[in-house]
C-alpha cells in the first residue's frame, strides 16, 4: 500500500506545472479542513503551541493560523515528490534563492553552519542548495523503512551529499566539516534533555540542543541562517548574514540568542513554521506536562 501511494504521489508531480498546482492546491485545501476537524490530537498541539507563543492573539486568529499551517504542511509535503524526482530544471525553476550572491561567503576557509529552522520549505531549500554545493546534514530514522529509504534517496539526488543518522554521532560530521563541507542543521526540535538546555522560545522554556553553539565554538564556524517561504507553488530562499557575535562564551547564552533570532523569523511567517511538533514536550523538573 505504501508503495502504491508513493507511485501515485510521484505521478502527480510529473503533471505540467499549472495542472499540478491546481490539483495539489485543491487537495491540500480540502484535506486541511478535514484534518483540522478529525485530527484532534495534532490540532490540539498546533493550537496549544500558538497560544503559548502568541498569548495576546485571539482564538479566531490562532485557528486561522492553524488551518493555514495544516494547508501549507500538506502542500509542501506533496511538493517533495518533484523535489526528490531528480529533475534539476524543475527544482531551479520552482525554488529560487533571492540573494545567490550570499553564497560567496563559502569562498573563505571558515567552516559554515547553515542554520535552518523548521519552516515547512526547509526540504526545498536543501534540494536547491544541493545544486550549488555539497553539504553534510543529520537525520532521524523513520519507522517505516520504505519511507525512510525514499527520504534518504530523495535528499541525495543532487551532488555528493553526506547524510548522517543521529546514531552515528558527531565524529563523521566534524570530519566532513573540517574538509570544507557546510553543515545544514535544523536546531529547533525537542529531542529531550540530552545535550539540551532549557531556554526561552517566545517566553516559554523549551529544551533546545546546544549543538550549534558547541560546533561553532569548536570549529570557529560562522553560523549562516537560511529561511524559506512558500508562495503560489514556488519557494523563495533567503540566506541571511552570519549571526553577529556568535557564539557567546556560554553555550546556554548562545542557544538563547539563537532562539531569539528564530523568533524574529517566525513572526514574519507564522503559518509556515512547524506548529504540529510538540516543541514544549520536555519540561524542566517540577513543571507539569503541556500536551
Q: Which residue has the cell 523569523?
A: 265
**Residue 288 covered by a domain:** no
Predicted confidence at residue 287, as pLDDT, reads 93
Number of domains in the chain: 1
Domain CATH number, residue 177: 3.40.1130
**Residue 285 covered by a domain:** no
Considering only CA atoms, which of 160, 261, 244, 167 is closest in space to residue 208?
Answer: 261
Predicted confidence at residue 44, as pLDDT, reads 97
Predicted confidence at residue 208, as pLDDT, reads 97
**Residue 284 covered by a domain:** no
Q: Flag residues of the chain having pLDDT under 50.
A: none
Predicted confidence at residue 1, as pLDDT, reads 66
Given a contact cutoff of 8 angstroms between Cβ atoms, the answer to whether 192 and 166 are in contact is: no
| Widest Cα–Cα separation across the chain | 55
What's the whole-model pTM score?
A: 0.94
Distances (CA, A) of 124 to 1, 188, 201, 205, 218: 26, 18, 25, 30, 29
Three-state SS string over 142-207 comes to CCCHHHHHHHHHHHCCCCCCEEEEHHHCCHHHHHHHHCCCCEEECCCCCCCCCCEEEEEECCEEEE
User: Three-class SS of residue 221?
Assistant: coil
**Residue 97 covered by a domain:** yes
Q: What range defines the domain where residue 206 resides?
A: 2-272
**Residue 228 covered by a domain:** yes
Helical packing angle, 40-53 and 17-38, nearest 10°: 90
**Residue 25 covered by a domain:** yes
CA distance 218 to 28: 43
Q: Say how many C-beta atoms besides its own lie within 10 A of residue 287's C-beta.
A: 11
**Residue 41 covered by a domain:** yes
Given a contact cutoff of 8 angstroms between Cβ atoms, the answer to whether 82 and 12 are in contact is: no
Predicted confidence at residue 39, as pLDDT, reads 96
Amino acid at each position: 500500500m505504501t508503495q502504491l501511494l508513493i507511485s501515485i504521489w510521484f505521478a502527480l508531480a510529473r503533471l505540467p506545472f499549472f495542472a499540478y498546482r491546481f490539483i495539489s492546491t485543491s487537495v491540500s485545501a480540502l484535506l486541511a479542513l478535514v484534518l483540522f476537524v478529525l485530527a484532534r490530537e495534532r490540532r490540539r498541539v498546533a493550537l496549544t503551541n500558538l497560544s503559548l507563543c502568541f498569548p495576546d492573539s485571539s482564538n479566531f486568529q490562532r485557528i486561522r493560523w492553524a488551518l493555514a499551517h495544516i494547508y501549507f504542511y500538506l502542500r509542501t509535503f506533496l511538493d517533495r515528490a518533484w523535489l526528490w524526482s531528480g529533475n534539476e530544471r524543475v527544482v531551479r525553476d520552482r525554488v529560487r534563492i533571492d540573494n545567490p550572491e550570499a553564497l560567496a561567503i563559502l569562498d573563505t576557509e571558515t567552516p559554515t553552519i547553515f542554520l535552518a529552522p523548521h519552516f515547512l520549505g526547509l526540504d526545498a531549500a536543501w534540494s536547491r542548495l544541493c545544486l550549488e554545493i555539497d553539504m553534510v546534514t543529520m537525520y532521524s530514522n523513520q519507522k517505516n523503512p520504505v519511507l525512510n529509504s525514499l527520504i534518504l534517496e530523495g535528499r541525495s539526488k543532487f551532488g555528493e551529499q553526506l547524510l548522517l543518522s543521529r546514531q552515528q554521532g558527531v565524529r563523521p560530521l566534524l570530519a566532513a566539516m573540517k574538509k570544507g563541507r557546510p553543515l545544514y542543521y535544523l536546531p529547533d526540535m525537542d529531542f529531550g534533555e540530552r545535550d539540551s538546555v532549557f531556554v526561552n522560545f517566545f517566553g516559554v522554556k523549551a529544551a533546545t540542543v546546544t549543538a550549534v553553539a558547541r560546533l561553532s565554538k569548536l570549529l570557529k564556524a560562522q553560523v549562516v541562517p537560511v529561511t524559506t517561504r512558500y508562495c503560489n507553488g514556488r519557494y523563495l530562499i533567503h540566506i541571511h548574514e552570519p549571526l553577529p557575535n556568535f557564539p557567546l562564551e556560554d553555550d546556554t547564552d548562545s542557544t538563547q540568542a539563537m532562539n531569539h533570532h528564530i523568533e524574529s523569523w517566525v513572526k514574519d511567517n507564522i503559518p509556515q513554521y512547524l506548529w504540529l511538533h510538540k516543541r514544549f514536550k520536555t519540561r524542566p523538573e517540577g513543571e507539569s506536562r503541556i500536551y
